[in-house]
């Protein structure tokens, strides 16, 4: 189990799947569904983090007003990511110890965090990645 203490974010992070701020919500929905993700980093042309768009952000885009039963689906899904994304994003760096990520996951209830090297997105670390590292640590496997 103590082997887990040697794990860093860089040992378990995944290559990032990102979108630009001009992407439509329909594009994001397709990517989230296709890859089984809950969130995507939003980046500029230089891969610098601008925000995070989550499945919750997609639902939040359906602003249920009292005068409508259901907003027009097609119209909402054509909105741009930059209109609904979360701009204040919690991140980690590649060398962050995984036990710190566990604390962040528990404290914030976030499912994943973008991994930044400087201001560039280099990966994503998710709950599942941390759970895998915990299992490997229990088995005595080192990163």
CATH of the domain at 61: 3.10.580.10
Q: How many domains does the chain have?
A: 1
How open is the CA angle 119-130-33, to the nearest 5 degrees?
A: 75
Quote the pLDDT of residue 72: 81
The span from the CA of 113 to the CA of 108, in Å, is 11
In a domain, 12, yes or no: yes
* Plot region of 118 (φ>0 → left; ψ -120 to 50 → alpha; else → beta): left
Confidence (pTM): 0.88
In a domain, 82, yes or no: yes
In a domain, 143, yes or no: no
**Locus of tokens 């980093």:** 41
Residue-wise pLDDT tens digits, 51-102? 999 999 999 898 776 776 777 888 899 999 999 999 999 999 999 999 999 9
The span from the CA of 84 to the CA of 107, in Å, is 24
Higher pLDDT, 105 or 4: 105
Please say whether the beta carbons of 125 and 9 come within 8 A. Answer: yes
């Amino acid at each position: 189990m103590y082997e887990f203490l040697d794990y860093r974010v860089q040992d378990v992070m995944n290559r990032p799947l990102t979108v630009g701020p001009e992407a439509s919500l329909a594009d994001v929905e397709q990517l989230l569904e296709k890859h089984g993700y809950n969130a995507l980093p939003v980046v500029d042309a230089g891969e610098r983090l601008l925000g995070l768009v989550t499945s919750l952000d997609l639902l939040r885009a359906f602003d249920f007003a009292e005068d409508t039963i259901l907003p027009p689906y097609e119209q909402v899904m054509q909105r741009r990511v930059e209109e609904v994304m979360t701009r204040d994003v919690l991140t980690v760096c590649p060398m962050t110890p995984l036990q710190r990520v566990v604390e962040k996951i528990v404290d914030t209830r976030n499912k994943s965090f973008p991994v930044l090297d400087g201001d560039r997105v280099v990966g994503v670390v998710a709950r599942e990645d941390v759970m895998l590292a915990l299992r490997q640590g229990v088995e005595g496997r080192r990163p």
